[in-house]
Amino acid sequence: MTNPNPASGSPDKEPATEAQESLSEARATPTQPAGDTEQTVPATATAKRPSPAGEARPSMGRMFLDNLWAANTVTVTVLAVLLAMVVGAVLIIVSDPEVLATYGYITARPTDALNASWTVVSEAYANLFKGAIFDPDAVGFTAAMSPISETLTYAAPLVFTGLSVALAFRGGLFNIGAQGQATIGVILAAVAGFALPLPPVVHLLVALIAGALGGALWGFIPGILKARAGAHEVINTIMLNYVAVYFLTWIVVQSGVQDPNRADAISKPVDSSAQLPRLLGDDLRVHAGILLAVAATWFIAWLLNRSTLGFELRAVGANPDAARTAGISVTKTYVLVMVFAGMLAGLGGSTMVLGTTATALTPLVIAQIGFDGILVALLGRVKPWGVLLAALLFGALQAGGNRMQSYSGISLELVTVLQALIVIFIAAPALVKTIFQLRAARAARLQTSLAKGW
């Protein structure tokens, strides 16, 4: 086999090479349905890679075994989750004074320390699992479905914000502003939800559209500034996040918005005609937002891979100069990408207040969905269906974390730690590869990020 790229001469690919080739990320991974085939935009990047064409094709089973311990997307993701949970376990142990006390005499009676550690960690993670997926002790339909319902409820807004960040990434922009876009979205959705007297279905649609438009407006600003003045979208979106938060804290206490029966900062509740219907009866929180999320995922996948706009968007993301030479309007694409990204984030914010998570605006109504969306997008390898799966994982962690907090007394913040760690390990596949001595994957494309400096 001849190797056209001397920089990656060794079979064990160095991270440097992955970074150089990060422009293209064409490869269907086992996590993806067949419909989501990604096309490479710059043909040069594909040519750089050592081609396996010259080798004899091994059998399917052999290939599966080879890939199992190679640094491919699935293996790295699973190992990253595992590593994060190990670090989380260490945090649980060192923050428990009773368990820590047993380490004082670990040389005399090591079993004490190990048993105590195992008990506290396994109980915490068992509750995480029971809260997120299935509780074997649950009796009846509602109790059995409750964990899944919670997971889906938490996942729905994350799908939207994750798609928002991922879409911008594909267009070569880093949208840190999903938080702000979701904030403006939730404001408009809520105001439309309680201020407009409309019949049921229309009211919901109007509220959702209002939320999407609010987010779109907040995405348009950094988009136009980037396109017209060359202002970096990372800086502007960070700043706009805070502008949006202060706007929210201001508007909830204005008369006409604030709940007249309350003294604290909370708005009037959204009318029932504007609320997303619940899917599994009134006792379970899961609502139609998750269906919208799946639809949005499908739409973004179609947009990216099948539409003209998607092609232009990926071309601009891969190489704006080349795209401009090819006759694509880079400025128009930047603005459109940010408008679409803002729209998605705005919808994500809307589902928070139109769904079952909250019924009225408060300063913290959307929690951290915008920032979590960044993690979700990276974990999902900035691909639509990957984002959906990543959001489900994060939703599960959130739902399980709630149970872990109330049953094991482990602070919900541990979930934040786990989420951040998972993404750190994902973002540095070379680290995971080194720790577990993984084989280099066949043509694996593990580098996730596409943003470039300031």
The footprint of other proteins (CB under 8 A) covers 7, 15-16, 18-20, 91, 95-96, 172, 174, 176, 225-232, 234-236, 238-240, 242-243, 246-247, 249-250, 320-321, 324, 330-331, 334, 371, 374-375, 378, 410-411, 413-421, 423-424, 427-428, 430-431, 448-454
Distance, CA of 450 to CA of 440 (rounded, Å) = 21
| 343 C-beta neighbours (distance < 10 Å), count | 27
* Cα–Cα distance measured from residue 255 to residue 265, given in angstroms and rounded to the nearest whole number: 11
Shortest CB 271 distance to other proteins, Å: 27
- The Cα angle at residue 283 between residues 277 and 286, in degrees rounded to 5: 45
* Closer by beta carbon to other proteins, 20 or else 40: 20
Report the residue number, 276 or 422, with the smaller CB distance to other proteins.
422
Shortest Å, Cβ 44 to other proteins = 17
Dump the DSSP string for 337-382. Answer: HHHHHHHHHHHHHHHHHHSSS-SS--TTTTTTHHHHHHHHHHHTTT
Residue 16 C-beta: closest distance to other proteins, Å:
5
Considering the complex, state which of residue 240 and residue 396 has its C-beta at the smaller distance from other proteins.
240
Min dist CB 197 to other proteins, Å, is 29
Report in angstroms how near the CB of residue 316 gets to other proteins at its nearest. Answer: 9
Shortest distance in whole angstroms from residue 439 CB to other proteins:
18
Residue 73 or residue 419: which is nearer to other proteins going by CB? 419
Cβ-based nearer residue to other proteins, 58 or 409: 409
Q: Return all residues near 165 (Cβ < 8 A) that are at least 6 apart.
A: 174, 175, 178, 341, 373, 374, 376, 377, 382
Q: Is 439 left (phi over 0), alpha (psi -120 to 50) or beta?
A: beta
| Alpha-helical runs (H) found in 23-174 | 43-48, 60-68, 73-94, 97-102, 110-132, 141-170
> Would you say 29 or 249 has its CB closer to other proteins?
249
Nearer to other proteins, 257 or 415 (CB): 415
DSSP secondary structure of 288-334 = THHHHHHHHHHHHHHHHHHSHHHHHHHHHHH-HHHHHHTT--HHHHH
Number of H helices, E strands in the chain: 18, 0
By beta-carbon proximity to other proteins, the closer residue of 359 and 447 is: 447
What minimum distance in Å lies between the beta carbon of 92 and other proteins? 8
The nearest distance, CB 334 to other proteins, in angstroms, is 8
Helix (H) or strand (E) holding 261, with range, is none
